[in-house]
A = this chain, B = another copy of it.
Amino acid sequence: MRIALAYSGGLDTSIIIPWLMETRPGAEVVAVCADVGQGDDLEQVRAKALASGAKEAYVLDLRERFVTRHIWPALQLGAVYQGRYLLGTALARPVIAQGLAEVAVRVGADAVAHGATGKGNDQVRFEAAMAALLPDMPVIAPWREWTITSRTEAMAYAAAHGVPVDQTPKEPFSRDANLWHISHEGGSLEDVAQPPPPGLLRMSVSPQAAPDAVTEVDVAFQEGVPSALDGMRLAPVALLERLNALAGGAGVGTVDMVEDRLVGVKSRGVYETPGGTVLYAALEALRSVTLDRRARRLLRDLADTYGELLYDGLYFTPSREAIEAAGRVLMAPATGHVRLALYKGNVQILGVEASKSLYDTHIASFDETGGVEHADATGFLRLYTLPLRTAARAGRTAPAAVPTPEPSRVG
């Protein structure tokens, strides 16, 4: 029996290797480590997998796929979950799962395994992706099977089974990092009556710790997709890395929220999405001059639905594809560039330019009529208010219902 394991290099997934071999005698474990920009030394991770007993270990560089096929579409739509979460972990799971599925097919695996626990969203996202890609492939989730429940037990198991263990102290938080974001959960964050502890952040500094200086950036977009930074065309991964550095340094992009997990649990998370926060703000500014009102509302509704779909692990569905198709059409005119100031946690728009802008100074102006005749407004208003007058006359908001003015300060 051959099992393809989604492998991260941490203690938790490392002990899964001997555990699988122990509970499935004769099993061979193929470790698959996906590079989505988490920043670990993946050659070292690969070595650790082999040292922990894996028969083979693959390292997949999925960074560009992650950015272009997963992050850019979500950005194009402006997708969020519960109004604030920029979906960092949710976006990465399907790429990782797809990479694992590809290796599983290539090596002829009989099952796949993952290290997600039984209360989180990641098990959902992982298994939903696998159900869509390899519907008949058994999925092993050791955390829902074994009796290990603490780090101490895990370390004892590791020691007993020859798994190399770092002597670093237990991380106080559960973290997930990739090119787009890093999340922090657990530990002292579980007390919602308290602020995040100092020293929590990894990709950025707090607004308070950021330098007292403005960082200006200029982001260019082609049809709603980032194409250049400060006038320089950059490959997607490089662009995002560079913007993360600039925005993180300016204290931009931290969200501290309580969210509703798919499995019915409220959970508090702190998310750092520095570059992403800038891109969302910049693209929204570009949208505001290139999309009409109905298109903006449609996009917003679609983005909310898309955010829920991704959060719920339903990436490999026609609904996701359909919303992306609509998003591409709506964002086709969003070509242009946006200048922004990053300052101690603030993102300020300095200017927007777009070749197909719908913003027309002459029409907008308070000083010119700009193509809008005042008489037209009169006609517009007569028709616009007609249903209100009809309703009022039908006794809905009768004049009698109007209270007499309140006495105070009546002259």
Which residues of B have CB within 8 Å of A98?
Answer: 402
Q: A329 contacts B333, CB within 8 Å?
A: no
Which one of B195, B329, B394 lies within 8 Å of A351 (CB-CB)? B195
Chosen A-B contacts, 6 in total, with CB atoms closer than 8 Å, are A61-B408, A105-B404, A260-B292, A371-B386, A373-B379, A379-B382
Which residues of B have CB within 8 Å of A199?
Answer: none
Q: B406 contacts A60, CB within 8 Å?
A: yes
Which one of B150, B190, B294 lies within 8 Å of A365 (CB-CB)? B190
Which residues of B have CB within 8 Å of A42?
Answer: 409
A403 to B106, CA, bound (A): 10
Which one of B260, B288, B376 lies within 8 Å of A379 (CB-CB)? B376
Which residues of B have CB within 8 Å of A105?
Answer: 399, 402, 404
Q: A351 contacts B192, CB within 8 Å?
A: yes
Number of copies: 4
A264: Cβ under 8 A from any B Cβ: yes
Q: B292 contacts A384, CB within 8 Å?
A: no
A348: Cβ under 8 A from any B Cβ: yes
A208 to B212, CA, bound (A): 8
Query: Which one of A318, A366, A385, A391 has the greatest number of beta carbons of chain B within 10 Å?
Result: A318
Per-residue CB contact flags for chain A residues 52-86 toward chain B (1 = under 8 Å, else 0) read 00001111111001000000000000000011000
Which residues of B have CB within 8 Å of A123?
Answer: 377, 381
A247: Cβ under 8 A from any B Cβ: no
Which one of B35, B265, B333 lies within 8 Å of A318 (CB-CB)? B333
| A334-382 interface (Cβ within 8 A of B) | 341, 343-346, 348-353, 356-361, 363-367, 369-382
Q: B380 contacts A263, CB within 8 Å?
A: yes
Q: A124 contacts B384, CB within 8 Å?
A: yes
Per-residue CB contact flags for chain A residues 137-154 toward chain B (1 = under 8 Å, else 0) read 000010111000110000
A383 to B118, CA, bound (A): 11
Segment from A226-234, A271-279, A319-327 that makes contact with B: A319-327
